[in-house]
Structure 1
């Protein structure tokens, strides 16, 4: 009876592409310059000088532009008290609240500004930004479209509407809007950054690099543009250029956790795991709830043989996100490698409770069930993995080896033949050895010898001395 090979996933996967990009400034100018409102020449009836609404408003604008939001808010409050129909004062008061991320206060002010000035594109845009930041994408899209209806040249409205489309995975629409924004304002580096990141999500990495190049040419201090270009170069296999870009991004902004995470992928690809771990440590220090960093550090720790450290990281992920099915899967892998097959079955089962269509986890649970002696459960899991992903050759191989061990030779032969025919590139000697042994049991000695000769050659080519000796021993027996 043959031994089954347990294959544990410990490779580092690229879990995130790019961190969210900083938002474009909320307080965009009007299509015409927003000059201070002139005060009326008419004298106030009071014997003491009283501020006019326009004066209070102008003071508020000055404070707002200086970043003194408390003073700005007080001035806009005064302007509105003096003139309850002062649309621009409501707009700017909404912008103050937006800058303070007080969305519940910003929204009614911006809505009132729109009620008083229903053709004001800036008011619609500003309210759209609030909806976007609150996650109300439908309302955000409606407001950005309304802003563009009143001002078709409003570049930032195109950019934000593109962001809404991208969040909804409508990448082609996002590209269209970002391009429209660029056409209206070729100097707008945000539009190039966002379009570049969208191209990267579409795996059009060369186009992404071109956009990040343009963003950097417009503003050489944009850490996010260097980070984006570095990620795109990573995917193009340009590791040295990618590393230079991530290094530059970190020099420009050394408190950006996503840059350390992304640089860790490059170090890992270069075979420098300790530097990768150091970057992941830094990402976690900067952002203690960074799920992706814990996941990737756990994977790297597992590859380094630090299984307890890996499981600790996956535990942290599950504390932060109990619905992270991938963390259960990775922890199950670590448990398998540590010899805890029963614990691995429990983790894989938890992962499948969250994601019932994960073919890989069914295959892995099949491996774990086989390890604890649950033969029918293992075969059922392999079959489920194949049902979900009909071309899943690793699941066919595992099921074929399981059938062989259970002496269901014809079924084993069929599965292993499917693997050999379906993957001419991999040329796994274990598969040829397995089918050779199965053929010998079915009485096909000629076919068995052909498979075993192929297995022996592949074992020899790959330096697997034990497999080579095992194959020669079996050939002598048949």
Structure 2
């Protein structure tokens, strides 16, 4: 029955069968040997040895058991004990080739191990690793060989390979608290504050001081790291900055955590608009890791906020050379290049004299001051035309920068008030301005798109009193323009300026946008722009998910999950 189970691969059932047989007849050396064979097949060499010892004690001339025990001892690295067993088999059976071949391995192994130890002392780690690897192929259950090779990998800074050597020693040595402590330390030095391995150490010895101290530190740092990441996910930049500084106080020696903390400080200071601090922290990261894509992108964004577009393009170009598939890099480079080009044209931030990270309150304050200065009816200079142009630019800047959607477009290198640019962005037109020509049309699949041209004969213009810029009451003149499109009934109001001509021009621009939305609906410039923005967001989410899936697969493949 046991033989049938063993032949059929039913090892656990076979083990139960032979254990029952041993209990039923403890004087039968054959059942001990068969149970040892099953245990070896299950990979339980430590449990198999007592059975083999029992067999040899009961029947010293049983060469098969002695040869099997010699093989186990050889794999465990107990070379002298293995050699004794092989020699006993040879003495009893000089024709036994298996024992003879195994015996021939012992002497060269001893020489290789001795030479490997000397190479380690001489810090010749590459040659030592090569020798130890050859020895481990013959003695895979020798914990000392794995530990020595791990030392070489650690000396070379290859913690992942060291982990692969230390991990089996936690099973090869009984109650290996030192192995679990070393394993946890390696994960920690890689930047993975792994708590599970150190918990295994404490399970074996709850009073182990070094394990307990390390566990406390790992738990504390893990909590701080989780909090910092949580604040990033919630856009709580000030809290992220504070928690990242705490991380540096907790761990200021292991580079992986120092780099992580400075990376958070680089990103969160940039997001919080702390330009000087962001540059400082991003530079610290790049001094430690010059190819850190996240720091290059964050510093690139900081350059953009600081209106240093050429520097931003340089950072994103370097990031693109490192990772050509990164969606954030592609979007950032595209944005930086557009902004560099845009900076040579009309810049709404410069028109209002505000920084790119200015809030709405700051924008409106600057707008009111400049609007009061450049009102054509208040302007004291001789060039009224220049004042009118300046005021139109100021009004346009206020319109764009106080509208989240338009501001987002402008921040990404598009001018939402530039009809030519919008046509190029959404419909593929080049060098054609719909505001300066009659209504134009083109095909979109089976549908036609026609951008509306205002016909003055279809407009009804009335004037009424209103409120001027900044809430100033206007009672003496009727300069609020109400412009209605008679065929559709659509209308707009405009009272941005005390200058009637300025308000008339602005009213016509806004009515034209409204007609486009009414007439073309989902094909309007505004709708197409929204769809394009949504498409870009979806692509970004998709690429982010793909990157996370690849990262998860890598961690699982490397045993880091």
Shorter-chain TM-score tier? 0.3 to 0.5
Q: Which has the higher strand share?
A: 2
Q: Structure 1 length as normaliser, TM-score?
A: 0.42
Relative contact order, higher structure (CA 8 A, sep 6+): 1
